Every structure is written in C-alpha cells, then in structure tokens.
Amino acid sequence: MSRTILVTGGSNGIGRAIAQQFVEAGDRVIITGRTSNRLRATAESLGCEHIRSDAGNPDDVAALFDELNGHVDVLVNNAGGFAPRPTNEEENPINATASQWMENLRLNLLSAVLMTTACQPRLRPGSAVIHLGSIGAEYAGNAYSTAKAALAAWNAGLSAQLGPNGITTNVIAAGYIEDTDLFHGGMRDERRAKLIAATHDKRAGDAADIAATAFFLASPGARHITGQTIHVNGGAHTTR
C-alpha cells in the first residue's frame, strides 16, 4: 500500500536522494524547500509533489500543513545546513555571534521541532520520524554541530513521547557525504582527503547511503528502533 512521505529540503542532495528512494518504491512523496524554481524542477524530475516552505519559519510550517491533506506515514526532517557567516563580525562580534548561533539553531534544530510539532496530529501508529544529524555533533564545538547535538538529545525525549502511540523517531548522523551543496563548493582537496582517510572503508559517503538508511528506518523491520542516533559514516566515528 502506498505511504505518504514528507521530506523537508527535498530539492537537492540527501533530501532529493531520500525522496527518490520512496518514489521508486511507489510511495506518495511531498518535498519542501525554500527556492521555488529548484523545488519545482526536482519534483518534476522525480515525479513527486512539492510545497514551498522554510522549515525554520513557523508561518511557513503552519501554511504547509494547511495545504497538505491526510496523514503522514514518514516525516523526514532533512532540511538544514550551515548558516552564512555574518558580515558584521569585526565591528560587532557579540551581535555577529548571536545571529550566527541563532540561525544555526533555527536551521538545524528548530526546523525539526516545528515540523514534528505541526505534523504530530497527522502521524499514526506505524509512522516514522527521521531527522538528519551529523558526525560533527560528536566532535566539533561550532554552532552547526552543537545544533545537531541538540537535535539528537531532543530526539531521545521525543521518542518517549511518541513511542506509546506506535511512532518511531530516530536521527541519522551522516558523515561526509559528497556531491551535495552543504559546503557551497568550498570543500578543499586536503580537507576532503582527511575526511576520507578517517573512514574505515576509505571512501566518501553518498546521498544514496543515507537514503537507504532512511528507507530501512521507515520499514516494518525497524519498528523496535526508536530514540536512536544511527551513524552512517564508513567508520569515521564508532560508538565503541
């Protein structure tokens, strides 16, 4: 039976690969994103639905659920990324720090909280919620990585809340995934080589690696997996 899958940030990179995997399985897929042209083009090429919406904007999130009919079987909170560096760093470092942290928290934490809260009445027993976290949450102390760490902490509590209703919620913590726009074309060769060297399988991740994990977490075989952070990074971070 066809399921309804809602993927935030589905117009590019990992979100696009996740959407494609569910479309190919015959599910009804709705993708969101902030940039209308790219969103429309991706939806046309995948053969799925689209709704323009900023996952970190409460009004956009409310409007999205006004437009969307019916229940949601799988919510993928994929939207996220690095907030742009503030332009006023030198003349007002405190203001610049505040705006950079607030924006990273909005893009990577609040987005998932708002989407999940608005979607909760549409979820039903058997539904799955999946969030995109990062390996950076284990090591880095910057605003982006801290927001991803908070996302994983929040997910654990959310699991206790949704679990009694038969709904699972998990984080996929991705390692370095190639061919996305996350780094805005700024990944240097030396840094890339270092990230690959840190893996056990000596390769960069692919968006399809994450899509396959999301597909599994939404499958009947994963119904007893909830409240977890699943690391997909070729061994670059191990939990033991």
Q: Considering the rule CB under 6 A, would residue 33 count as an interface residue with ligand NAP?
A: yes
Q: Which of residues 175-204 bind ligand NAP (CB under 6 A)?
A: 176-177, 180-182
Pick between residue 28 and residue 38 the one whose CB is nearest to ligand NAP. 38
User: By C-alpha distance, which of 16, 19, 15 is closest to 5?
Assistant: 19
Burial 83-106 (b: 16+ CB within 10 A, else e): beebeeeeeeeeebeebbbebbbb
Letters for 51-70 (x = contact with ligand NAP by CB under 6 A, - = none) are: ---xxx--------------
**Contact map string, positions 79 to 118, toward ligand NAP, x by CB under 6 A:** xxx-------------------------x---x-------
- The sign of the dihedral angle between the CA atoms of 42, 48, 49, 55 is negative
Of positions 4, 11, 145, 169, contacts ligand NAP by CB under 6 A: 11
Q: Which of 5, 6, 7, 14 binds ligand NAP (CB under 6 A)?
A: 14
Give every strand in the sheet of 49-52, ordered side by side: 49-52, 28-33, 4-7, 74-77, 128-134, 168-174, 229-232
Beta bridge partner(s), residue 75 = 6, 129
Q: How far is the CB of 240 from ligand NAP (least distance, A)?
A: 21
Place of tokens 């990074």: 233
Q: Which residues are 50's β-sheet partners?
A: 31
Q: Give the residues lining the site for ligand NAP (CB under 6 A).
A: 8-9, 11-15, 32-35, 38, 54-56, 78-81, 107, 111, 132, 134, 174, 176-177, 180-182
